[in-house]
Amino acid sequence: MKTRASFKLISRLMTDAWIYSPEGLRDAAGIYARILEKLRPNMILAVVDTRANDPDDFALEVISRYKVPTTMSAMRHLQVSQTLSEFPDQQHLRRIMIPAYLNAIENRRPLADRISARVLNMVTLYNRLILPQRNRAGRSEWCLVLIDVKFLLPTAPTTPLADVDLGILQMLAEGATIKEIAEASHRSERTIHHRVERLKARFGARNLAHLVGLAVSEGVADDPS
């Protein structure tokens, strides 16, 4: 049975391997080979070839893909080996990805951060580790990128909601039942039920869990202010 490891442990193992890797190592596999079987299904591992002068021509090679079951087809499009000019979400690429790669390869130092962003039709939170090729002779020629996806949620409507609906979403996110919401808001269960059904239709939610996920993706249920 494969032994899965935490992002923190895998990051440490990869960073240790990077520290002891030879200058100008041509193949990043020497750093990631031993951790492949430790990756969790929510992790993505990729190598970015950064030899081109134009970042649009950097080549992304996906080594290990996100394997958590999901109906969001966008995840497949984001995990295709391609040049960055072909990446399907150019806004995310230029705001989040390219600046980090350039920082890492120019400074030739590891970069670790946590990203919260919209990507295509999803809202995501992920941890990221970037390890550039150790190369004292010049700019690093590749980056090894490890991503630990904490959650993926579909995007939802962003138009303002009535105060009562914000309250309903907040309590649903806290696990309250329709009866408990009705008692707290001094409304009938029938009224709350109807409002929940209208919210489901507005958000395109299939059920209550889906509604809460969509609301959280817009920062509605977790921050009603």
Q: Comparing 26 with 217, which gets the higher pLDDT?
A: 26
| Two tokens, residue 146 | 């490890």
Domains and CATH numbers, the chain: 7-154 (3.30.450.20), 163-217 (1.10.10.10)
Dump pLDDT digits (tens) for 202-225.
888 889 988 888 887 766 444 433
Dump pLDDT digits (tens) for 42-88.
999 999 999 999 999 999 999 999 999 988 888 988 999 999 999 99
Dump pLDDT digits (tens) for 152-201.
888 766 667 888 888 998 899 899 999 999 999 999 999 999 999 998 88
What CA–CA distance (Å, rounded) separates 191 from 186? 10
Confidence check: pLDDT of 89 > 60 = yes
| Two tokens, residue 86 | 């072909």
pTM above 0.75, yes or no: yes
